[in-house]
Structure 1
Amino acid sequence: MSPDFDLDADLALLRATAEEAGEIALAYFRQDPHVWYKNGDRSPVSEADMAVDRLVRERLSAARPDYGWLSEESGRPAERRGRETLFVVDPIDGTRGFLSGETAWCVSLAVVHAGRPVAGVLVVPARDEVFAAHTRTPATLNDVAISVGAGKDDVLSIASPRRLVDRLPDALKDVVTTVGFIPSLAYRIAMVADGRLDGTLVREKANDWDIAAAAVILERAGGALVEADGTPVRCGGDPSAHGILLAGGPRVLPRLVEGMGGAPRH
């Protein structure tokens, strides 16, 4: 069931905020920002991430004080627990790529309602790209409608860790061509939405902030992001991490689900 709040207004708020946040991030890009590490020194955080997070939280919380809050860089479980609607934010998705000077990183903002991503925006400042959608609109890239690719039987362009591709049956593995590493998971999913990729396989421990905005964009482009068994992804729970995820269009996704050992989808 669709929420009864104003999705057009929420999407406009996300987009305006994400575009402003993108300008802040660009001011730090390739400028050697200060960096520290979290999660046992495994995950980099930069002053750019925190500056973007502060701006986004200020703008979104002021506009929708009743929404919960889940961000990679801020917030506590109590700020989302019991909230039917919340913002899910990754200030800079693809921080490692951002810090190494690559352009495939983005600001990812979403509204999640009752566990379902219902509005999302990805701003990719270094590539001048803006993806946007809510559950009542087509997905767009720079205001032009996008859709997933048709998918071919004899070749599939997939973004995936090698170990997940190796789990596919030989018949499917033989037609898979893997692309080079793309630092931002959200951007990889968006590339499925606009047809540049046929699909992506996502390793365990992706978090809601990595996927929420991209999930609704992919859905409105005609595809889906699902768990390895084919069930739709849910967001806003506690914990916020997921198992293996699969993304693709209607011709490709059932093959990936079956290939990863899930039930065939009809």
Structure 2
Amino acid sequence: MPGYADDIALAHLLADAADAVSTARFRALDLRVEAKPDLTPVSDADTAVEREIRALLAAHRPGDGLLGEEYGEEPASGPDGRRWVVDPIDGTKNFIRGVPVWATLIALLESDRPVAGLVSAPALGRRWWGALGEGAYAGPDAAGGAPIRVSAVRDLADASICYSSLTGWESTGRLDAMLQLMRDTWRSRAYGDFYGYMLLAEGALDVMVEPELSLWDVAALVPIVTEAGGTFTDLAGRPAPSGDAGTENSAVASNGALHADILSRLGQPTEH
């Protein structure tokens, strides 16, 4: 991976450190959980992981910018404007309830475009990573990675789709469309958070959709899905995500063959 080899190697280093912190706190009896101003939960593991990643990036890439979910943004001081985007624990609600489906998400953006991403899910014993023009991979670690590829399913009636909770679809006026899409597909499951996108990249399912996301929720996922041969846009069909930390994003990720059909069904609100 000549173009982004050093960046992916660093992302693995960051993930190693993050995994050591998060796994030590997973199912810990003294885990501390608080509510953030938006009423979403944050654990002491979330904040500890982000502090560890920030310290490592300051040492290895002092000129790069950094946006983290828990501690905000540090602008880039280097001339190229590169920026790392980190979600220390994606799936905090799973984490605090002892559900092993959670991960650290690490992305590198250039000109607000995600060019490299890594997802590490230590409780599942698996990582996924990819970089622009260099393919997508999955395995237990960097040494054990193998290429991954999206499915070849072309008909919605044969497709397995994944989605976020239905309350988000209701709040954006697309609940009826989402329910009909579920009826029209072979199988629908709400695996949630990062996991649906990674199953899509591996070809285990064919579509993953979410109506409301922050930049740190999605930036790392885009290079992995697209380098695995998939398509990743927002609900309006625009390239996702927005590089603005304050902008709410949506996501439609697919194997490509089903993308236009999904957008036609979910692109416009239908409820008032």
**What is the aligned partner in structure 2 of residue 231 from structure 1?**
238
In the TM superposition, residue 84 of structure 1 has moved relative to its aligned partner by 2.6
Gaps of 5+ in 1: none
Q: Percent identity?
A: 30
**What is the aligned partner in structure 2 of residue 25 from structure 1?**
22
CA RMSD of aligned residues (A): 2.2
In the TM superposition, residue 171 of structure 1 has moved relative to its aligned partner by 7.5
**What is the aligned partner in structure 1 of residue 198 from structure 2?**
190
> How far does the alpha carbon of each residue in 1:74-119 deviate from its partner, in whole angstroms, 9 at most, with x for none?
124x636997310000000000001111111101101011111001
**What is the aligned partner in structure 1 of residue 33 from structure 2?**
35
**In the aligned structure 1, how far is the partner of 2:206 from the partner of 2:224?**
15
**What is the aligned partner in structure 1 of residue 147 from structure 2?**
145
TM-score where L is the length of structure 2: 0.85
**In the aligned structure 2, how far is the partner of 1:172 from the partner of 1:107?**
29
Aligned-partner SS, 2:205: coil
**What is the aligned partner in structure 1 of residue 54 from structure 2?**
57
**In the aligned structure 2, how far is the partner of 1:235 from the partner of 1:86?**
13
**In the aligned structure 2, how far is the partner of 1:57 from the partner of 1:193?**
28
**What is the aligned partner in structure 1 of residue 188 from structure 2?**
178
Q: 1:79 aligns with which of 43, 56, 75?
A: 75
Aligned-partner SS, 1:234: coil
Alignment length (residue pairs):
252
- Given residue 150 of structure 1, which amino acid in structure 2 is its aligned partner? A
Q: How does 1:103-122 map to 2 (within 5 A)?
A: 103-122=100-119
**What is the aligned partner in structure 2 of residue 219 from structure 1?**
226
Q: 1:158 aligns with which of 116, 136, 161?
A: 161
1:101 aligned onto 2:98: yes
Q: 1:131 aligns with which of 104, 123, 128?
A: 128
Q: 2:265 aligns with which of 249, 256, 259?
A: 259
TM-score where L is the length of structure 1: 0.87
Distance 1:6 1:149, change over 3 A: closer
**In the aligned structure 2, how far is the partner of 1:124 from the partner of 1:172?**
27
Deviates more, 1:9-18 or 1:228-237: 228-237
- Given residue 19 of structure 2, which amino acid in structure 1 is its aligned partner? G
Gaps of 5+ in 2: 140-144
Check conservation: 1:187, 1:214, Cα contact below 8 A.
no
**In the aligned structure 2, how far is the partner of 1:171 from the partner of 1:75?**
36
Deviates more, 1:110-119 or 1:166-175: 166-175
Distance 1:230 1:22, change over 3 A: same
> How far does the alpha carbon of each residue in 1:46-83 deviate from its partner, in whole angstroms, 9 at most, with x for none?
1101110111011112211111111101124x636997
**In the aligned structure 1, how far is the partner of 2:88 from the partner of 2:202?**
22
**In the aligned structure 2, how far is the partner of 1:144 from the partner of 1:128?**
14
Aligned-partner SS, 1:166: helix
Check conservation: 2:234, 2:241, Cα contact below 8 A.
no
**In the aligned structure 2, how far is the partner of 1:103 from the partner of 1:255?**
33
In the TM superposition, residue 152 of structure 1 has moved relative to its aligned partner by 4.5
